[in-house]
């Protein structure tokens, strides 16, 4: 069991990202297009965190041009350059799936002061 733990520790990110459910974050992702690479910024609300350790994932939701989009990011992926915390959200749930059914201002998360 210690060999598996050692491999897992090697794959973890040195500085873990600090954000909670309901926070608005800006994720900088490295995208490879052919032989070129660029950084794409994806901003949205964290609606779910799953698993833990090496396999931890974060679901981020945003609305663009009236269409809701969700994207799942592996937290320990080498393609994630950085995660900026835009604002902290005040929520009382671990999963914010109810935001999928809401439109307009009802889909907003209050800011925690």
What would the 3-class secondary structure string for the chain be? CHHHHHHHHHHCCCCCCCCCCCCEEEEEEEEEECCEEEEEEEEEEEEEEECCHHHCEEEEEEEECCEEEEEEEECCCCCEEEEEEEECECCCCCCCHHHHHCCHHHHCCCECC
Domain presence at residue 108: no
The answer to whether residue 94 sits within a structural domain is yes
Residue pair 76/54 in contact by the 8 Å Cβ criterion: yes
The pLDDT assigned to 1 comes to 67
Residue 89 lies in a domain: yes
In a domain, 109, yes or no: no
The CATH number of the domain holding residue 64 is 2.30.30.790
Q: What is the extent of the structural domain holding 38?
A: 2-101
Q: What is the pLDDT of residue 5?
A: 83
Task: Look at residue 36 and tell me if it is in a domain.
Answer: yes
CA distance 113 to 111: 6
In a domain, 65, yes or no: yes
Domain count, the chain: 1
107 occurs within a structural domain: no
Residue 19 maps to a domain = yes
Tens-digit pLDDT string for the chain (113 aa): 688 888 888 888 877 888 999 999 999 999 999 999 999 999 999 999 999 888 899 999 999 999 999 999 999 999 999 999 999 999 999 999 999 999 999 999 999 98
In this predicted structure, what is the pLDDT of residue 10?
A: 80
């Amino acid at each position: 069991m210690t060999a598996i733990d050692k491999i897992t520790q090697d794959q973890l990110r040195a500085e873990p990202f600090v954000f909670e459910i309901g926070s608005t974050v800006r994720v900088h992702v490295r995208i490879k297009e052919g032989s070129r690479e660029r950084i794409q910024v994806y901003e949205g609300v964290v609606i779910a965190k799953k698993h833990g350790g090496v396999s931890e994932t974060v679901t981020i939701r945003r609305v663009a041009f009236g269409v809701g989009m969700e994207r799942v990011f592996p937290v320990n992926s080498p393609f994630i350059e950085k995660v900026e915390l835009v604002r902290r959200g005040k929520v009382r749930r671990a999963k914010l799936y109810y935001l999928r059914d809401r439109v307009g201002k009802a889909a907003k998360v209050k800011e925690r002061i």
